[in-house]
Structure 1
């Protein structure tokens, strides 16, 4: 039973639903870089990930976390101990948002929220273990490694050209963190991944 995944999912849903109708709670928890820079409110580097813009944003992230988190939690706990997956997810929240924070630390108008960076880390950790496993993109099923390439390419393009108010930088850094953390936690994953890539299965 992926207890850590379920706890994270439940906590995120509770906080997000509370914040949908509580502007003050959003203001207290959201990533607002000047609050970290001036007031040393470093907790915002984590709490922003428990807020979401709307129910659909929350549903998409939590569905993805549920399916991939329950697959990956045993792997991280096996190599890092009982709190391995919690450590991985917490690190994903922080690392994925740090470049955004550093870029906007003097920007009074910038806000960011959502668990997408950490969720991306979980997905890319999974891809390191099972690159040919099928992943659904809406109604299309594609190999995980193809999804990874498309996801990275799209995120890079949108990060440079997009105007959709989505933090694509966090998606990219979360994905990179997921790969690096997974390999450092279990170095055998890298030769396994490369070996799997040499044996395509569509």
Structure 2
């Protein structure tokens, strides 16, 4: 059993408190702290950080899986790197996940926006339709509306960065999923999981169900890989 290290202990406590507090106090933090689309009036720059500490209020499994993965895969990394270095890595991966997720959404929204302009709609008409949370028959309009009004929450992006760093450090560790209980080495399991997220993000077909920010997962994994690879090449010391 891995000992609960200092940084991970506090990250888990903050995540759990922010999950429980809105239920107990009947106070909505999601709208303030979730990561909104930049053109949405609810967007704030702080959300690139705060969304990492928010989880779906309708799914206990969301926070459970993220916190379990943070503990299971992050503990050996914090023991090896030290608290400060681990926290730098964790927040960098989470921030990168939010930025890449937003850039992909921005590209997709602009593509849909320009297509609607070509069909004869004005900018004012489009944004007026964006502010209405209804189901549109026009597929392009519906796609733009979903991007505009959907906010992202969860530590998954940062956790994917942790997963990648764990796989690079302990490539032969055996991992498995509940629905795929056969243990697979981390060096195969983790890239496979990321490719599955990439496939789901590109095609829209998801084995994990709807409402998953696949490109946030891929973004966190990419930033985690770049940092972990750089540190591995330069053999950075612990940051205690």
TM-score of the aligned structures, taking structure 1 as reference length? 0.82
Gaps of 5+ in 1: 190-202
Question: Shift in Å at residue 166 of structure 1?
Answer: 0.5
Gaps of 5+ in 2: 110-146, 236-240
The secondary structure found in structure 2 opposite 1:186 is helix
- Aligned partners of 1:40 and 1:31: how far apart in 2? 7
The secondary structure found in structure 1 opposite 2:149 is coil
Question: Shift in Å at residue 23 of structure 1?
Answer: 5.8
Q: Which residue of 2 aligns with 1:193?
A: none
The secondary structure found in structure 1 opposite 2:183 is strand
Q: Is the 8 A contact 1:104 1:110 kept in 2?
A: no
Question: Shift in Å at residue 182 of structure 1?
Answer: 0.9
For residues 67-96 of structure 1, give each alpha carbon's deviation from its aligned partner in whole angstroms, at most 9, with x where no partner exists.
11111112232xxxx411111111111001
Q: Which residue of 1 aligns with 2:226?
A: 180
For residues 126-150 of structure 1, give each alpha carbon's deviation from its aligned partner in whole angstroms, at most 9, with x where no partner exists.
1111111111222221110111232
Equivalent residue runs for 1:1-202 within 5 Å: 2-20=5-23, 22=26, 24-34=28-38, 41-53=44-56, 54-77=59-82, 82-104=83-105, 107-138=147-178, 139-162=181-204, 164-187=210-233
Q: Which residue of 1 aligns with 2:137?
A: none
The secondary structure found in structure 2 opposite 1:111 is coil
Q: Is the 8 A contact 2:31 2:42 kept in 1?
A: no
Q: Larger deviation: 111-120 or 132-141?
A: 132-141
- Aligned partners of 1:20 and 1:145: how far apart in 2? 39
CA shift in 2, pair 1:143/1:55, >3 Å: same
CA shift in 2, pair 1:102/1:149, >3 Å: closer
Question: Shift in Å at residue 27 of structure 1?
Answer: 0.6
What is the number of residues matched between the two proteins? 184
Q: Let me know the Cα RMSD of the aligned residues.
A: 2.2
- Aligned partners of 1:60 and 1:39: how far apart in 2? 28
